[in-house]
Amino acid sequence: MTRKIALITGSGRGIGAATAKLFASNGYAVCVNYKTNLQRAQQIAAEIREQGAECLLVQADVTLETDVVRLFDMVEAELGVPTVLVNNAGTLDTQSRLDELSADRIHAILRSNVSSCLLCCREAVRRMSERHGQNGGAIVNVSSGAARTGSPNEYIDYAASKGAVDTLTVGLAKEVAGEGIRVNAVRPGLIHTEIHADGGEPERVNRLAGKIPMGRGGRPEEVAEAIYWLASNKASFVTGALLDVTGGL
C-alpha distance from residue 97 to each of 34, 102, 199 (Å): 29, 11, 13
The C-alpha atoms of residue 234 and residue 156 are separated, in whole angstroms, by 35
The C-alpha atoms of residue 136 and residue 40 are separated, in whole angstroms, by 31
Annotated catalytic residue, options 34, 155, 158, 228: 158
Is 158 a residue of the active site? yes
Q: Is 229 exposed, middle or buried (0-12, 13-18, 19+ CB in 10 A)?
A: middle
The C-alpha atoms of residue 22 and residue 84 are separated, in whole angstroms, by 13
- DSSP SS3 for 183: strand
Catalytic residue numbers, as ranges: 158
